[in-house]
Amino acid sequence: MAGGSLGLGPRVIVVGDPCSEFVRTMVRLAREHEVEAVPCDDAYSAVAEIGGLADRRALIVGTMRELTRENGRFFELAATDAIRCCCFLDTRTAAGRDGVLSASRAGAAVISDPREAEDVLTEWLADDGRRPGRLAPQDLLDNDLRATEAELSALLGHKTNA
């Protein structure tokens, strides 16, 4: 039942409060690039959309709060279908360090300004819309991982052990 549209063009699934500036901006950006935008209130609804995509190309753009639900499982499901994710980290709301890390490890782009999403969108449209799935921690060099964690901790205002 999900993904009832008959078209086979690329689709941007926008996850978050439909009244938020972020979601409205993303829907507008997608339409400007002539891409179908599908707003979803939450990660659960987005998973239902993913389930109905079949072979259709999709980019998922959503708030960090929604996409990191259920301990980052959302990213794993997206990675299974090689669907690219982009997380909006709203610095005005709390975001768990683990959630940000799970997003990074899954290869999701993390942005802190809705306007940055346009770069992600154009890049995605330019290539084949797919990318390698989730990265295992061992796939990252130790220094890379530490740098990422240190950067994230600094961004979130946490102290690090490094």
| Interacting residues with other proteins (CB under 8 A) | 1-2, 41-45, 47-52, 69-70, 73-74, 77
Least separation in angstroms between CB 33 and other proteins? 25
Q: Which C-beta is closer to other proteins: that of 81 or that of 116?
A: 81
User: What is the C-alpha separation between 149 and 132, in angstroms, rounded?
Assistant: 21
By beta-carbon proximity to other proteins, the closer residue of 2 and 154 is 2
Tokens of residue 21, six digits? 């500036």
Query: Least Å distance between CB 110 and other proteins?
Result: 20
Residue 29 CB contacts under 8 Å (≥ 6 apart), including other chains: 117, 118, 121
Q: Would you say 72 or 114 has its CB closer to other proteins?
A: 72
Minimum CB–partner distance for residue 77 and other proteins (Å) = 6
Q: Which is nearer to other proteins, 76 or 123 (CB)?
A: 76
| SS (HEC) of the chain | CCCCCCCCCCEEEEECCCCCHHHHHHHHHHHHCCCEEEEECCHHHHHHHHHCCCCCCEEEEEEHHHHCHHHHHHHHHHHHCCCEEEEECCCCCCCCHHHHHHHHHCCCEEECCHHHHHHHHHHHHHCCCCCCCCCCHHHCCHHHHHHHHHHHHHHHCCCCCC
Nearer to other proteins, 24 or 69 (CB): 69
Closest approach, Cβ 151 to other proteins, in A, equals: 27
Instruction: Compute the least distance from the CB of residue 143 to other proteins, in Å.
Output: 32
